[in-house]
Amino acid sequence: MATIKTAFEEFDVALRHHPDGERMVLFPDFEHTPGTPSGPTGMMRSEHRHIKEITAAMTDSLSAHDADAFAASVDLLHMMPGQRMLQESSTLYPVADCSFAACVDQLDAQVRDLRHPFGEHQS
């Protein structure tokens, strides 16, 4: 169980790092670009909170040695990336491509400046 817990803790840290780039770099620029809808980022912020709730439940179930609860949370978390990718590719990316074309290098540098949780730069 200790190996599973350690592996999950590393996964959880990495998973929490991804939304930081969106929340701290992409979303603010997206939301301050004239003519962009605020709905997609609001929904994605909500999804970030939901992911944190799921991973918190996973942590609790590991601490309680409750394999069934852990598996149920894994199933919930497993469904989210596909739905999220569909939303990003159909809504956020097309608007961002048009809005950020002139400043893509600057945004890329800002995201790269965020330190990866394990000490290396995110690529």
Model confidence over 21-70: pLDDT tens digits? 778 877 787 777 666 666 677 888 888 888 889 999 999 999 999 999 99
Structure tokens at 62: 């590991």
DSSP category for residue 115: B
Structure tokens at 5: 């817990």
pLDDT band (50, 70, 90) for residue 87? confident
Q: 120 CB contacts (<8 Å, ≥6 apart)?
A: none
Provide the whole-model pTM.
0.67
What is the reported pLDDT for 102? 63
How much of the chain is in helix, strand and coil states, percent to nearest 5? 85, 0, 15
